[in-house]
Structure 1
Amino acid sequence: MTTADLSTSVPFREVTDANGRTYRLGESDIDIMGRKRKWMVILPWVGMMGISSAEYAFASAEDTLHHAHNWNSGHIYWMMTVWVFFQAAVAMPAGRLRETGRLPARWAMMLGATGTLLGYLSLAYAPHVIFAYIGFSVFSGMGAGMVYATCVNMVGKWYPERRGGKTGFVNGGFAYGSVPFVFIFTGFMDITNFRWVLVSAGLFLAALVACAGFFFRDPPKNWWPAEVDPLNPPADPRARRALEKNPPAMKQYSPGEAWRTGRVALMWCCLACTSGVNIFGIAFQVDIGQDAGFAAGIVATAMSLKAIVNGTGRGVIGWLSDLYGRKKCLLHVCVILGLAQFGIIWSAEMKSLPLFLFFSAVSGFGGGAIFPMFAAMTADYFGENNNATNYGMVYSSKLVSGLGAGMGFLVVDAWGLNGAFILAGSISFFAGFLALFLAAPGRDRKGNPLVKAGPAPVIRETD
């Protein structure tokens, strides 16, 4: 039995709207878990910060790991690529296990904490590079995938009426939580102290994830906050505008039903393009900065700025998407991300540090903002009950986009850094073109139902 299936002593009623969607009303967040639902924003945010350094700060440790272990630089980039592969690969099966009750949220977070620790231990003590691939790329990647999927879906379940800003805030922890470690790995860690630095980081981050996850709890299926009327415009102007711009799913779609709408495949392709560009930038912005002659400390500052804006941008774009709609914001983000790649090339060729820092920040904003858009949009399109699996299908696009590091290494080798960044910018524009065709199942591109509503709503009281 999962926490979502636990009954409470508080009576509730189930309301079925004219489209056939059911809402469970009457139980407050305190009735269900003994605390305000804002904790299901704060705790997932902390958990996301605990896994962020494995992706966003790893490139900053490249030089030290290369000299400490005598690993080829290519191994570092492919290690990151394999990490992203396993992080994405575990999202859908973990989501399915969560929804069937076989993997409670708390245990998913504990497994994620264990994987995080194993990843850092392997980077510190691996006797051969293959052990680093197994410990960091496989176990740490899978652990991060469990934490990511659990945290993002948790907040969407507790805020079904206004999920954009909350999802963006939680998602942001996956980026700016890495900022201290970018500086530590770049400016403090060297071949004389790398082992204790990595082990200390692993222990601290694993404890952070485990402590946050210990208090996780899911709401019941179809739960809806009692103070927000699902059948009429809510009194809260923020919730009212969010629901007008991003109306809830017409029904709770199963993974098979969601796939058959064709939207999952389109979202998969769009996210594959944009997240690939994001990962490429994380891996190679240090290189293009150093190639332009900027000092290592300056490049670290640029990467930290990128991570900070990447994280805060997720919260900002999530909030804006509640105001103006997910699709409109997604289109703007794709264009911004594409333009930023060309801006990085321009600033590096001019050797202009202010411009390089500016476009690094813009690239970070665009690269981060895409993720909360798709996380919230998946629930908007297909409902919350199967969102862990449905978003897992969309997020599995990182199985391909993770090649942004490994394949990026080959593209840079063949075309140079400028050619690789031009390709990245072009891919971002293509993703924006794909996003033009997105629309919620059962609704037109303006959000209006395609078919006439059915009978009057049905209300069932439950003791």
Structure 2
Amino acid sequence: MTTTDAPAGAPYREVRDRNGRVYRIGERDRDILGRPRWTMVLLPWVGMMGISSSEYAFTSAEDTLHDAHLWSSGHIFWLLGVWVFFQAAVGFPAGKLRESGRLPARNAMMLGALGTFLGYLSLAFAPHVAVAYIGFGAFSGMGAGLVYATCVNMVGKWYPERKGGKTGLVNGGFAYGSVPFVFLFTAYLDLSNYQVVLVSVGAVLLMVVASAGWFFKDPPKNWWPEHVDPLSVSDDPRIRRALAKNPPAVKQYTPAEAARTPVLWMMWFCLLCTAGINIFGIAFQVPFGKDMGFAGGIVATAMSLKAIVNGTGRGVIGWISDRYGRRNTLIFVCLVLGSAQIGVLVSGTLQSLPFFLICSMVSGFGGGAIFPLFAAMTADFFGENNNATNYGMVYSSKLVSGLVGSGLGAVVVGAWDYRGAFVLAGGIGFFSAVLAVFLRQPGRPAARAIQPNPRPISREAM
């Protein structure tokens, strides 16, 4: 391990660990930001809440949009699928632009805020469903993708030593920020007011996202908090435990290097499966509950509870993964997600409202927990410097999962009914748990593969 002093006058120095990874230490968060770094958890959290309603509350407006525009239910589900497609598609190019310096974090947030507003504007006034596909599906989806990629990767850069809980908290805003709008669209949205309500919601969210994004700032490359020594064991038990269970990446992988590792594409496929189950639940829980005889208000409550637990679970699971390891936690989450799909089906078939609400919340927990796990795991495996692009590659699996979970999900429900669709979703969850077993940090040998030195150096011989 070596230390390299920075040029004279610089308030930091760079150190290297035994793997050659560089850490920039000596600068406090206040030196860079002018304020404490916890603000770069709070502001991304607010930004994420501002984009959540487009995914989690959209299907609550299904009946009104159908009556107002005469769009079929198939169009509603495919609109959500297209939104998810573009939200995921923008992640990789946005990451490249962000890390090259051509798209500052503040500009990305401003564009995201504008896209969110255009989405609601098109839902309110679209003269044809094609306009909704462009305005809501494409513009709102890309706007949400810009905000999502910027917020999630920002917090990981500011908390490289203990990113799981913080990433989970920020990621949680993507779910429970939608709760007021689920109730608003279910209880108050109708033919007499839908245009005013949708435009008003879009304008409010425009201001929320833009206001939060105005204060965004990235730390320097390789930055490490000055109170945590990256070359020695920390005195803080929380940091010591988190780094032991989730050691930093052996080096800062470029996107090209990360793409050459098999584990990145295993992560891509695992996220494809689990995100598809999550989107399937978002799209079909409300119509399934109504078909099973539950009142519309009850179904809206179930969806709200799902969103709340989805968001809360993202923060809790991040904290759990800091304690017990990202991979072990992911295996557990996949098993929970698969079991919950079977539970939703059984509870609806039995028309057991308490069981339905519980299974809905469990499904929300599992569906939400996967995203912060993969975001933190990508930084753990490939480093923070290029995490926006590397996670963009992993997150691009949502390009497919959105269309599979929503659009293709409608096809499966039509062919196999809800029973076959929910059983298939549960089986995919269990398969994902098996796949997660094989996810390991690239470049770091397994502990059992390290052979002891047959001739150790004795202190007495020195």
TM over 0.5: yes
Give matches, 1:179-198, under 5 Å: 179-198=179-198
Q: How many angstroms does 1:120 deviate by?
A: 0.2
Residue in 2 that maps onto 1:227: 227
Residue in 2 that maps onto 1:427: 428
- SS of 2:340 mapped into structure 1: helix
Equivalent pair of 1:248/1:380 in contact (CA under 8 Å) = yes
Is 2:96 the partner of 1:88? Answer: no
Alpha carbons of 1:447 and 1:91: their partners in 2 closer, same or farther (altered >3 Å)?
farther
Alpha carbons of 1:8 and 1:337: their partners in 2 closer, same or farther (altered >3 Å)?
farther
CA–CA separation in structure 2 for the residues paired with 1:239 and 1:258: 26
- SS of 1:216 mapped into structure 2: coil
- Aligned-pair identity in percent equals 70
CA–CA separation in structure 1 for the residues paired with 2:298 and 2:248: 45
Residue in 2 that maps onto 1:375: 375
Q: Which one-letter code corresponds to 1:362 in the other structure?
A: V
Residue in 1 that maps onto 2:440: 439
Alpha carbons of 1:259 and 1:64: their partners in 2 closer, same or farther (altered >3 Å)?
same
Q: How many angstroms does 1:8 deviate by?
A: 12
Unaligned 5+ segments in structure 1 are 1-6, 453-463
Is 2:206 the partner of 1:206? Answer: yes
Residue in 2 that maps onto 1:28: 28
- SS of 1:294 mapped into structure 2: coil
- SS of 1:402 mapped into structure 2: helix
Residue in 2 that maps onto 1:105: 105
Q: Which one-letter code corresponds to 1:378 in the other structure?
A: T
CA–CA separation in structure 2 for the residues paired with 1:135 and 1:446: 52
CA–CA separation in structure 2 for the residues paired with 1:449 and 1:297: 59
Pick which of 435-444 and 219-228 moved more: 435-444
CA–CA separation in structure 1 for the residues paired with 2:298 and 2:65: 20
Residue in 1 that maps onto 2:460: none
Equivalent pair of 1:10/1:26 in contact (CA under 8 Å) = no
- SS of 1:203 mapped into structure 2: helix
CA–CA separation in structure 1 for the residues paired with 2:15 and 2:446: 27
- Once the two structures are superposed, residues 38-97 of structure 1 have per-residue CA deviations (whole angstroms, 9 ceiling, x without a partner) of 000000000000000000000111111000111111000000000000000000000000
- TM-score, normalised by the number of residues in structure 2: 0.95
Alpha carbons of 1:91 and 1:446: their partners in 2 closer, same or farther (altered >3 Å)?
farther
Q: How many angstroms does 1:262 deviate by?
A: 1.0
Is 2:412 the partner of 1:408? Answer: no
Alpha carbons of 1:297 and 1:158: their partners in 2 closer, same or farther (altered >3 Å)?
same
CA–CA separation in structure 2 for the residues paired with 1:224 and 1:43: 20
Residue in 1 that maps onto 2:122: 122
Equivalent pair of 1:309/1:365 in contact (CA under 8 Å) = yes
- Once the two structures are superposed, residues 183-204 of structure 1 have per-residue CA deviations (whole angstroms, 9 ceiling, x without a partner) of 0001111111000100010000
Alpha carbons of 1:130 and 1:25: their partners in 2 closer, same or farther (altered >3 Å)?
same
Q: Which one-letter code corresponds to 1:406 in the other structure?
A: G
Q: How many angstroms does 1:99 deviate by?
A: 0.2
- SS of 2:14 mapped into structure 1: strand
CA–CA separation in structure 2 for the residues paired with 1:449 and 1:22: 24
CA–CA separation in structure 1 for the residues paired with 2:375 and 2:238: 20
Number of equivalent positions: 446
- SS of 1:217 mapped into structure 2: coil
- Once the two structures are superposed, residues 93-143 of structure 1 have per-residue CA deviations (whole angstroms, 9 ceiling, x without a partner) of 000000000000000000000000000000000011100100000000000
Q: How many angstroms does 1:259 deviate by?
A: 1.1
Residue in 1 that maps onto 2:278: 278
Q: Which one-letter code corresponds to 2:438 in the other structure?
A: F
Equivalent pair of 1:10/1:27 in contact (CA under 8 Å) = no
Equivalent pair of 1:442/1:450 in contact (CA under 8 Å) = no
- SS of 1:24 mapped into structure 2: strand
Alpha carbons of 1:446 and 1:174: their partners in 2 closer, same or farther (altered >3 Å)?
farther
- SS of 2:52 mapped into structure 1: helix
Q: How many angstroms does 1:291 deviate by?
A: 1.2
CA–CA separation in structure 2 for the residues paired with 1:61 and 1:278: 19
Alpha carbons of 1:128 and 1:446: their partners in 2 closer, same or farther (altered >3 Å)?
farther
Is 2:143 the partner of 1:143? Answer: yes
Residue in 2 that maps onto 1:257: 257
Q: How many angstroms does 1:442 deviate by?
A: 1.4
- Once the two structures are superposed, residues 287-314 of structure 1 have per-residue CA deviations (whole angstroms, 9 ceiling, x without a partner) of 1111110000000000000000000000
Is 2:148 the partner of 1:153? Answer: no
Q: How many angstroms does 1:430 deviate by?
A: 1.0
Alpha carbons of 1:448 and 1:225: their partners in 2 closer, same or farther (altered >3 Å)?
farther
Q: Which one-letter code corresponds to 2:234 in the other structure?
A: P
Equivalent pair of 1:442/1:451 in contact (CA under 8 Å) = no
- Once the two structures are superposed, residues 304-348 of structure 1 have per-residue CA deviations (whole angstroms, 9 ceiling, x without a partner) of 000000000000000000000000000000000000000001101
Unaligned 5+ segments in structure 2 are 1-6, 454-462
Alpha carbons of 1:15 and 1:193: their partners in 2 closer, same or farther (altered >3 Å)?
same
CA–CA separation in structure 2 for the residues paired with 1:144 and 1:445: 38
- SS of 2:233 mapped into structure 1: coil
Alpha carbons of 1:348 and 1:128: their partners in 2 closer, same or farther (altered >3 Å)?
same
Q: How many angstroms does 1:451 deviate by?
A: 12
- Once the two structures are superposed, residues 187-242 of structure 1 have per-residue CA deviations (whole angstroms, 9 ceiling, x without a partner) of 11111100010001000011100000000000000000010010111111111100
Residue in 1 that maps onto 2:300: 300
- SS of 1:15 mapped into structure 2: strand
Q: Which one-letter code corresponds to 1:407 in the other structure?
A: L
Is 2:25 the partner of 1:18? Answer: no
Residue in 2 that maps onto 1:351: 351
Please report the RMSD computed on the Cα atoms of aligned residues, expressed in angstroms.
1.5
CA–CA separation in structure 2 for the residues paired with 1:54 and 1:147: 13
Q: How many angstroms does 1:10 deviate by?
A: 5.2
Residue in 1 that maps onto 2:53: 53
Residue in 2 that maps onto 1:3: none
Alpha carbons of 1:394 and 1:8: their partners in 2 closer, same or farther (altered >3 Å)?
farther
- SS of 1:228 mapped into structure 2: coil
CA–CA separation in structure 2 for the residues paired with 1:290 and 1:381: 43
Residue in 1 that maps onto 2:458: none
CA–CA separation in structure 1 for the residues paired with 2:448 and 2:276: 29
Q: Which one-letter code corresponds to 1:127 in the other structure?
A: P
Residue in 2 that maps onto 1:455: none
Q: How many angstroms does 1:444 deviate by?
A: 3.9
CA–CA separation in structure 2 for the residues paired with 1:297 and 1:187: 8
CA–CA separation in structure 1 for the residues paired with 2:239 and 2:314: 19
CA–CA separation in structure 2 for the residues paired with 1:235 and 1:200: 50
Q: Which one-letter code corresponds to 1:126 in the other structure?
A: A
Q: Which one-letter code corresponds to 1:420 in the other structure?
A: A
